[in-house]
Every structure is written in structure tokens, then in C-alpha cells.
Structure 1
Amino acid sequence: MPITPTREEELALLARVRERAGEDALVAGVDEVGRGALAGPVSVGIALIGSGTSDDFPVGLRDSKQLSAAARTRLAPLCRQWAVDVAVGHAGPDVVDREGIMAALRHAAANALSTLIAAGHRPLAVLLDGNVNWWTDAPLFDAAPLLPDLPVLTKMKGDASCAVIAAASVAAKVERDALMVTLDTQHPGYDWARNKGYASPAHIAALRELGTSPQHRVSWRLPGLSQSEPSPLEPSEAGRIQPAVSQPEPSQLELSHKEDE
């Protein structure tokens, strides 16, 4: 049975931020889509909440993976109405190949964040899906930090349990899926309109027959092109992921932050 998200985590974090920054403080829910795909961009959705955000989030909101395409399409505009603001950023396969999947996530998040900041909405803390803090681990891998130094609370399965992350998840999934449908018309034969760039049987068969396209992540070991057992996961980047760490309670977060330059 699908998990119904709540606002418990995001409201606790928002309360801590407001103690330092006042009533106008915003918290970001962040989720990614397309990380394990063989082709197309990796996308990051950011949804913002504040003190005025209603407790009545859209009915039926869930982790985007638990929803049908029709349900996601219906919910996406409702999520944008509910949240203070929502933006989605993308990083193409060239970024994945050049810098790795973790840096590509930061590029995508930076693109989404720049849209929010341009609209006058700057979050002061991040609620991030998963158990890896790829947001503030930037100095380990990037020549320069791509994202502002903000407090980050990671949440395993946050896209299922936290309303603001679920909203970000739905927005990112809908926007990336639409991009893959468009890319399918530009690079026909891989069935991206259906598989969205993931390792479906039709996609793997097309790789054997057609080879790669400019939208494929050619630094990866792509199924259908290797004599060894194929893997759709990020092989070269897996070693860069940091070990999982325990999630701090909101009260443990250091809420001071440096403004991004």
C-alpha cells in the first residue's frame, strides 16, 4: 500500500530555520529523476515551502514512482499552486560523461535554484531525498562549489514520506518525461517515449542495432554494447558516493549559512 506523505519533517525543519531567519524563511524539498537512465538528462526538482504554505497539500500526492503518468500530470500543476514555488533543472549526458553523475546532480540543482532565486525565492535549508548529501559534498568533486552552503537534512524515501519532496519528485518526473518524449522524435528507434531512457528490452535491443545516440551516457557500460554482463547503473561514479550517514534531527542542524556568491 502506498505511503501517504506528511508535513512532519518539513515543518520541524522550517521551525528551526525561522528561529534564525524569521517568518519569511523558506525550506526546499529536493528530489532527482533520471539518475539511473541510460540516456537523456538527469533532472532535479526543487519545491519550496514557507510559513504560509497550507497543510492541505494536493490530494493523492505520492512519490512520483508510485503514480501513473496521468496522475502525475494532474498533480504537477497542483503542486506548483500549493508550494511557494517549484523549479526543475536538468544536466545533459555530456555533463554526466564529463564530470560524473554526482556533479551532474549538482549542475541540475543549480539550474533549478537559479530559476527560483531569479523569482525572488531563496531557500535557507534543504530537505533532500536519499541518504547521500550530494548537495554539500560539492567541494570533494567539483572545481568550485555549484550550490550555496546550506544546512541539509537527508531523508531516506523522503519522496514517499515528505510532502514537499514528493511535490519536487512529481514536478521533476513530469518535466523530464516530456523532454524524453521530445528527444524520442529527434532520435527515433530507442522507444524513449515509453522507457524514458531507462534500460527496457526495446532500448537495449535498439542499442545493439543502432549503437549510441548523442543523448546516451557513453562513459557508462551500456547494455547491448558490452560483451560482459550489462549494468544500467552508474559504474564510474559509484566509487565516488560517500558512505551513508545517520540523519540528524532538525534540532541538531547548524542553521547558519553562507550566502552564495
Structure 2
Amino acid sequence: MPDLRHERALLAEADGPVAGLDEVGRGPWAGPVMACAVVLPDASDATGGLPETLFASLDDSKKLSLDRRDALFDPLAAAIPHAFGEASVAEIDELNILQASLLAMRRALAALPHRPGCALVDGNRDPKLGVPTRLIVKGDSASIAIAAASILAKVRRDRIMVELARDYPGYGWETNMGYGTAAHRAGLDRLGVTPYHRTSFAPIKARLQTALNI
């Protein structure tokens, strides 16, 4: 379970407050990549300044059910300063998914109402945030701030994909969130590629090349 050890260690080395950042949506074949930056109300407090029940509920978003993530979104968003950053499908195809993910993180941090003094980031790639940064592999399972960011980013992106599914039915985005499931593959075979598909990804690129050769 995530805790506050990393937040407190970073506070001892750099000026606070501490931001936590995570991104979601690197793997899907369709849709944007989404990042979230959060700032704990008080990282020195036993619960980071969060209500105790909310603090105890936080974990890596991948370990929580969809219903549990949805239930946490509104109280978490109300309790913690946060901001989202997004990189579009066009930016993913132009920059590559890694660079687009780092761009989304920079946008999320820049959108915070107040600039933090330092940051904890999930992963092993420095997004160049312009503040002292500590990278934590599997940080969403280790840091409360990163776990909170992972939940908010995941729910935000999922809701975008549900909306896109209404405009582009038949790909199963409302349940697969753009990942390459059997339903998504069947939709591509039947309906073709949409403007929200990542044409730089091999399965989409292959379908476009096949279509051009027909």
C-alpha cells in the first residue's frame, strides 16, 4: 500500500509543497494520454492532510475496480489540489508515446493553481518539470500523492473514452478504453480507422497499409 515516506523524504531535501504525478493511457490503440498532478494539503501530517477514510482508500489505480475508482474520484478531487494534462493522438503520433506522456505531465504540473516546490513522478523517465524531481518505479503503489494522481488520471481518461465511444460506436471503447481487445480489433476490421486511432502504433499502421494496398 502507498504511504508518505517518499513525500517526507523529498520534503527534507527540497522546499515543499510536494506534487505527485502519474499518467495513464500509454498502451491503448486509441485516445489521448492523460496525466494528473496533485499536491497533498499537508505531507507532514499523518494522512497528508486528507480525510482518514479517503487516505486509507488510496492505492494504485490498476489495483482498484472501476466502480471503486469512480467512487473515489469526486471526494478526492474535492479534497486535493490537482490539475490534468493531456497529449492528443496527433501529438502521440508526432512525438512518440513516451515523449507525449512526458509532455502531458509537464502540462499537468503547469496547470496547478500554485507551483509546487518538488515532485514525485511515477516511472523512470524525468519529464523535466523544472522543479526538483524524484522518479519512483511503480510509484503509484508506493506514494500516496502518486496513487491519488493515478486514480484521478485514470477516471478522467476513462470518461473521455466513454464519450468518444458515443461518437464512434462499434469499437468497444466504453469498456476497453481504447486498448487492443478482441472487440476493438473486430471494430477496426469492420469499420476502419477513426481520427482517434494512433496511426503510429503498429496494429493501426498495419491496417492503414492494408487498406491502401487494396
Matched position secondary structure for 1:222 = helix
The match for 2:64 is: 67
Structure 1 counterpart SS, 2:19: strand
Over the matched positions of the two proteins, sequence identity in percent amounts to: 39
Contact kept, 8 Å, 2:4 with 2:43, in 1: the verdict is no
Q: Which residue of 2 aligns with 1:90?
A: 86
Which of 18, 29, 32 pairs up with 1:27?
18
CA distance in 2, matches of 1:45, 1:54: 22
Contact 2:23 2:35 in 1 (8 A): yes
Cα 1:155/1:164, change in 2 over 3 Å:
same
Q: CA RMSD, aligned part only? A: 2.0
Deviation of residue 100 (structure 1)? Answer: 1.3
Aligned match for 1:124, one of 117, 120, 139: 117
Query: Structure 2 vs 1, CA of residues 131 and 111 (structure 1 numbering), >3 Å: closer, same or farther?
Result: closer
- Match among 161, 164, 178 for residue 159 of structure 2: 178
> Could you list the per-position Cα deviations for residues 104-157 of structure 1 after superposition, in whole angstroms to 9, with x for gaps in the alignment?
1233223322321xx2x1012121111222x02xxxxxxxxxxx4222211111
After TM superposition, give the deviation of residue 80 of structure 1 in Å.
Answer: 2.8
Is 1:46 equivalent to 2:19 in the alignment?
no
Amino acid at match of 1:43: M
- Cα pair distance change 1:149/1:115, threshold 3 Å: closer
Once the two structures are superposed, what CA deviation does each residue of 1:162-214 show, in whole Å capped at 9, x if it has no partner? 10000000000010000000000111111100000011110011112212100
The unaligned stretches of length 5 or more in structure 1 are 19-24, 137-147, 227-261
The one-letter code of the counterpart of 1:40 is G
Alignment partners' CA distance in 2, 1:54 and 1:39: 40
Supply the distance in 2 between the matched residues of 1:115 and 1:198 (Cα, whole angstroms). Answer: 28
Aligned to 2:138: 157
- Residue 159 of structure 1, CA deviation: 0.4
One-letter amino acid of the structure 1 residue matched with residue 190 of structure 2:
E
**Greater Cα offset, 152-161 or 217-226:** 217-226
Letter in 2 for 1:104: A
SS in 2 for 1:98: helix
Query: Number of paired residues?
Result: 202
Confirm or deny: 8 A CA contact 2:18 2:43 kept in the other structure.
Answer: no
Q: Which residue of 2 aligns with 1:110?
A: 106
What is the one-letter code of the residue matched to 2:77? R
Q: 1:236 — aligned with what?
A: none
Q: Structure 2: where are the runs of 5+ without partners?
A: 208-214
Q: Is the 8 A contact 2:24 2:34 kept in 1?
A: yes
Is the partner of 2:29 in helix, strand or coil? coil
Moved more, 184-193 or 49-58: 49-58
Question: Which structure has the highest helix share of the two?
Answer: 2
Give the TM-score, by structure 2 length: 0.87
TM alignment of 1:131-142, pairs within 5 A: 131-133=124-126, 135-136=127-128
Asked if the contact 2:14–2:132 (Cα under 8 Å) also holds between the matched residues in 1, the reply is: no
Q: Is the 8 A contact 1:177 1:196 kept in 2?
A: yes
The whole-number CA distance in structure 1 between the counterparts of 2:138 and 2:174 is 27
Corresponding residue to 2:96 among 96, 100, 103: 100
Alpha-carbon distance in structure 2 between the residues aligned to 1:223 and 1:209: 13
Please state how far the C-alpha of 1:14 moved relative to its aligned partner.
Answer: 1.6
